[in-house]
Chains A and B, each alone.
Chain A
């Protein structure tokens, strides 16, 4: 069923799901939503299971003409959303009908919002995923961000319900200072006192930040004496923090496959969604954490989403 005509796309509105797995050995990065927590909640509110494709909206939202009857939900960054000019709630489901105009404004806090529709956005599955990989030109809507005039369809058969709100305790706060928990390694042994400096200082997000990686400004990290500037190229995983020759850390994200600089630490998977909401000028502090603590946080996050899904099912 056709659901949206794009009247204005916004600077970077892409179709994503939870990612493409099993192809990293062939040089295909996972892609997928940067803020998995917000996107999974958006899908739950829209009556979906969680991995349906949705719109990832960065900084400024699109203006969409609605073409079909559906239930929508928007989560993530704090953007001003109107339906036919009237304010629309975030973190809640609402109905739309043909002819409606949905307008999503600029992010006041946070950076990325997620728009889910009951049944999910319907684009072809490529290598097991609907995620856009724009650098290689495939996935999502014709392998690119949305443009004016694009017409999007949604899956049919699913049932959503309007007026379902996410309980406040499940909505993460959006702040201009973000603590990212990170595990030292894989090349932490190359850094000596650089490791203490990395965990002890505050960094600032630069405008050179996107789905490939976030470049940070702040105290330069130096390698231990006699260590080479680069390592033999190896695949990088989301959250890896590489230190290039200028010593300014880069958080690698979902569209990076290989890198040749030493990685001092890796941001835990639970905190990638915090990176997704950090915007240029925001401050970042890295906090050292053990593997065991990280796994506890991962399991707590999953349990939390399970609990929310259960609560929402009861309301619906």
Chain B
């Protein structure tokens, strides 16, 4: 269990190769994934179609007409040798404003009561940490975050809501996250951000990036409305 000495290669059909660095959620493992991603971006091997960093592994999608798994493994091993020496840019910290509680966070009362905390303590505990963005997925631009304080761990809703508004900030057991688009969902909602994590027609459709950090900060309902208006404009 933990980080492997050497990455394991696994097949994902005839178009994909998985490079696995470990089998637990760990910032050090995720950092190796991030570094390989930066190296692949800088020196893409021939036949690379796209790549996706995950919690513990890198998925490499390739064109079998242009390369082979043997060649890709060789390319990854060569990139690996230089990973430690590689100057990786410092991860960015993206600050996300959240209007906690009230109409934007209908489950705030439940989360506070479940954990025997006051609402203000829930807000303080939730907006204090730097959350690592381990992976994006599920819906466009949705971040899988690590680092939710244990005092806030709360089970999901017994029955998911049929529609959760985009920007809703929720908790599900040890995870916290932001709904990037309106979708059904069972997370306990404690607030909402006016910031759009995904907008198909924006020059950069996706706001967040795997390997960066996210920090929440509380805003008032009137600040929420002002910011939401600017996002629309």
Q: What is A's interface to B at a CB cutoff of 8 Å? A: 21-28, 126-127, 135-139, 143, 182-187, 232-235, 237, 239-240, 257-258, 266-270, 291, 294-295, 298-299, 302
Do A186 and B12 have beta carbons less than 8 Å apart? Answer: yes
Closest-by-CB residue of A relative to B57 is: A234
Do B140 and A295 have beta carbons less than 8 Å apart? Answer: no
Do B205 and A26 have beta carbons less than 8 Å apart? Answer: yes
Indicate which residue in A135, A232, A267 contacts B25 across the interface (CB closer than 8 Å): A232
A267 in contact with B59 given A26-B140, A27-B142, A257-B137 (CB within 8 Å): no
Per the 8 Å Cβ criterion, residues 9-53 of B in contact with A are 10-16, 18, 23-25, 37, 49-53
Do B180 and A27 have beta carbons less than 8 Å apart? Answer: yes
A27 in contact with B206 given A237-B12, A269-B15 (CB within 8 Å): yes
Taking the closest CB of chain A, its distance from the CB of B143, in whole angstroms, is 9
Indicate which residue in B16, B65, B68, B139 contacts A27 across the interface (CB closer than 8 Å): B139
Could you tell me how many residues of chain B have their Cβ less than 8 Å away from some Cβ of chain A?
Answer: 45
Closest-by-CB residue of A relative to B49 is: A21
Per-residue interface assignment for chain B, residues 137 to 171, with 1 indicating a CB less than 8 Å from any chain A CB and 0 otherwise: 11111101000000000000000000000000000
Taking the closest CB of chain B, its distance from the CB of A271, in whole angstroms, is 10
Interfacial chain A residues near B205, Cβ < 8 Å:
23, 26, 28, 127
Do B138 and A294 have beta carbons less than 8 Å apart? Answer: no
Indicate which residue in A187, A258, A295 contacts B14 across the interface (CB closer than 8 Å): A295
Closest-by-CB residue of B relative to A258 is: B137
Interfacial chain A residues near B201, Cβ < 8 Å:
126, 138
Do B200 and A240 have beta carbons less than 8 Å apart? Answer: no
Q: How far is the CA of A258 from the CA of B201 in the complex (A)?
A: 23
Interfacial chain A residues near B37, Cβ < 8 Å:
25
Closest-by-CB residue of A relative to B205 is: A127
A257 in contact with B138 given A21-B50, A25-B50, A240-B12 (CB within 8 Å): yes
Closest-by-CB residue of A relative to B51 is: A25
* B227 interfacial contact with A, CB 8 Å: no
Interfacial chain A residues near B65, Cβ < 8 Å:
298-299, 302
Interfacial chain B residues near A239, Cβ < 8 Å:
13
Per the 8 Å Cβ criterion, residues 111-140 of B in contact with A are 135-140
Per-residue interface assignment for chain B, residues 196 to 207, with 1 indicating a CB less than 8 Å from any chain A CB and 0 otherwise: 001011000110
List 11 A-B residue pairs with CB atoms under 8 Å apart, sorted by A's residue number.
A26-B205, A28-B140, A28-B206, A127-B200, A185-B10, A233-B54, A266-B11, A266-B14, A291-B14, A294-B14, A295-B14
Interfacial chain A residues near B136, Cβ < 8 Å:
25-27
Q: What is B's interface to A at a CB cutoff of 8 Å? A: 10-16, 18, 23-25, 37, 49-57, 59, 61, 64-65, 68-69, 135-142, 144, 180-181, 183, 198, 200-201, 205-206, 210
Q: How far is the CA of A237 from the CA of B49 in the complex (A)?
A: 13
Do A295 and B200 have beta carbons less than 8 Å apart? Answer: no
Indicate which residue in A22, A24, A240 contacts B13 across the interface (CB closer than 8 Å): A240
Q: How far is the CA of A136 from the CA of B206 in the complex (A)?
A: 13
Q: How far is the CA of A27 from the CA of B25 in the complex (A)?
A: 19
Interfacial chain A residues near B12, Cβ < 8 Å:
185-186, 237, 240, 266
A235 in contact with B183 given A183-B14, A302-B65 (CB within 8 Å): no
Interfacial chain B residues near A28, Cβ < 8 Å:
140, 205-206
Do A234 and B139 have beta carbons less than 8 Å apart? Answer: no
Further 14 A-B residue pairs, CB within 8 A, beyond A28-B205, A294-B64: A25-B53, A26-B141, A26-B205, A27-B136, A27-B180, A28-B206, A136-B140, A139-B200, A185-B12, A186-B18, A232-B54, A235-B137, A240-B12, A258-B138
Do A25 and B64 have beta carbons less than 8 Å apart? Answer: no
Do B16 and A232 have beta carbons less than 8 Å apart? Answer: no
Interfacial chain A residues near B64, Cβ < 8 Å:
294-295, 298-299
Of A23, A267, A299, most B-chain CB atoms within 10 Å: A23
Interfacial chain A residues near B61, Cβ < 8 Å:
24, 237
Do B13 and A237 have beta carbons less than 8 Å apart? Answer: yes
Interfacial chain B residues near A23, Cβ < 8 Å:
50, 140, 205-206
Taking the closest CB of chain A, its distance from the CB of B211, in whole angstroms, is 10
Of A182, A232, A240, most B-chain CB atoms within 10 Å: A232
Closest-by-CB residue of B relative to A303 is: B65
Q: How far is the CA of A185 from the CA of B135 in the complex (A)?
A: 21
Interfacial chain B residues near A233, Cβ < 8 Å:
54-55, 135, 137-138, 144
Do B198 and A136 have beta carbons less than 8 Å apart? Answer: yes
Do B59 and A235 have beta carbons less than 8 Å apart? Answer: yes
Closest-by-CB residue of A relative to B11 is: A185
Closest-by-CB residue of A relative to B183 is: A135
Indicate which residue in A24, A135, A185, A299 contacts B50 across the interface (CB closer than 8 Å): A24
Do A24 and B15 have beta carbons less than 8 Å apart? Answer: no
Interfacial chain B residues near A298, Cβ < 8 Å:
14, 64-65
Interfacial chain B residues near A257, Cβ < 8 Å:
137-139
